Chains A and B, each alone.
Chain A
Amino acid sequence: MNPVFRPLRELAAALRARRVSAVALAETFLERLERLGPRYNAVVTLTRARALAAARRADDELAAGRWRGPLHGIPYAVKDLLATGGGVPTTWGAAPLRGQTFDADATVIRRLDAAGAVLVAKLAMVELAGGMGYRQPNASFTGPGISPWARDAWSGGSSSGSGSAVGAGLVPFAIGSETWGSILSPAAYCGVTGLRPTYGRVSRHGAMALCWTLDKLGPLALTADDCGLVLEAIAGRDPADPTTADRAYRYDGEAGAARSFRFGVLRGVTDGCEDAVRENFERSLRTLEGLGTVEEVSLPELPYDDITRTILFAEAASAFEDLIESGGIAGLTAPEDRYTAYARDAILAKDYVKALRLRGVMAREVDRVLARLDALVAPGRASVAAMLEGEFRSAIRGTARDVMGAVGNGAGLPAVAVPNGFGARGLPTSLQFMGRAWEENTMLAAAAAYQSVTDWHTRHPGEQ
């Protein structure tokens, strides 16, 4: 079988039936990562020896009839902000940290190991997950992330390699992180499915901290179903991360079958979107009307973007205090990343606390709206991928508005982004579903229902 661009359940069935070996899968994807990864600036480190050892172990267990679950023997890769032991570097995408190593694996990697998944690579990312204020795609020591859909298009960020590696068929799934947009943006620009879990659903232990109260880890994969399978493996309480919730998570892959959904659309949510993004979203709404109801809703006027941006800037300034104060940021790749963070000393403590107080108001207001809906839907991004050269607009820098992102990340809510068409230059566009806290299964069910009646997620780029 050709294992490239196959959903996880298909790969799992082939492995379990011994129609393909875990070693063969690992070798296939290692070869693709090595050969094609440089085209997209997607890979930082191949973990070949570790991968082949894990794959041999999986084959032995499967031959002995010990099946760990649907990820057993399946290759995957992680954004290079997740710590790996064994001397494998963890660079955070930053040139000054190219040689950084840690003693142990991040909790997410340990959990995927326990599920029998096979780590094949660590993937490129925007330096320091974009926390220093980058304005251009070229903001990583590995070069700008490139979308598999066009050599001159950005992959999105900050989980750049996680998006492009899945979109180019270099791995079946990858782990990314989101503080504000870092899973949904590469999912949109690379034409894949991305899941941002509820804050506290997945342990951040061993992950680079950008903002302690905003950071979330989640999967990028080909389908919503794939994302659900991965989430079940990585979710759950972790004593090493006190912000993880004591809530068990079981993915319910049948949750969307034969049910009707109540979708809401924020008034004015397509303001500022490119024409093709708006048209594709409107077509998506017509599709969603076949799966349930769609109604317009509104949130009270609050400075949503300012609330989340203040929290992000203040926490990032503290998280990277050493690098900033020492002048170490001068070694970063994007020129603006070498000085932008200095301005954040201007955030006063009482303004940060005010943002945290307003966050509570924001969380209550959006929950009030979501309580009578299954999901808010919106374009995943307002535009297709930016060109590699030049600046892009960003809500984080205040040059664009992103109420869904500000509210979703500020309130810690889950969201799923799925491909929903193509726009300018033949680049993919995206549809996002955002729901109440802990409603990942509802978001995944809605996204899976959408994918059951559309085929955008089955379209893949050629080898650019």
Chain B
Amino acid sequence: MSEAERAAEEVDELFALVRRRYGARLTAEELEGVRRGVVAIVAQVAALRAVRLSNADEPVQRFTPFRADG
């Protein structure tokens, strides 16, 4: 399967999920807009997945354990 076919398949699967959740409240035109959004997101994350990182490359997301005073 080519990259383009894999991407198209991912779009179909993710769009099906979105349509199942929200399709009842959307018009056909709006659903087509949502589909274009899913296509853009799949292309966007493909660009992220194409960059190789090492195990040591942590997310920039500071987490601080919480402990109440006293």
Contact = CB atoms under 8 A, between A and B. Distances in A.
A303 B59 contact: no
Given A302-B51, A354-B48, A358-B51, A344 B41 contact: yes
A310 interface: yes
A360 B25 contact: no
A348 interface: yes
Given A357-B59, A360-B57, A361-B57, A351 B48 contact: yes
Nearest to B33: A339
B3 to A, nearest CB: 15
Size band of the A side of the interface? 35 or more
A356 B45 contact: no
B5 interface: no
B60 interface: yes
A342 B15 contact: no
A346 B41 contact: yes
B47 interface: yes
* Residue among B18, B33, B41, B64 with max Cβ neighbours from chain A (10 Å): B41
A133 B36 CA distance: 12
A340 B34 contact: yes
Interface string A319-352: 0000000010010000010111011111110010
Given A213-B61, A356-B60, A343 B37 contact: yes
Interface in B10-58: 14-15, 17-18, 21-22, 25-26, 30-31, 33-38, 40-42, 44-45, 47-51, 53, 57-58
B35 to A, nearest CB: 8
A120 to B, nearest CB: 37
Interface of B: 14-15, 17-18, 21-22, 25-26, 30-31, 33-38, 40-42, 44-45, 47-51, 53, 57-61, 64
30 contacts: A133-B37, A213-B60, A213-B61, A242-B64, A303-B48, A306-B45, A306-B47, A307-B48, A310-B45, A313-B41, A330-B25, A339-B30, A340-B33, A343-B18, A343-B35, A343-B38, A344-B37, A344-B41, A345-B17, A345-B18, A345-B21, A346-B41, A346-B42, A351-B49, A353-B59, A354-B45, A356-B60, A356-B61, A359-B60, A398-B40
Interface of A: 133, 213, 242, 302-303, 306-307, 309-310, 313, 327, 330, 336, 338-340, 342-348, 351, 353-361, 363, 397-398
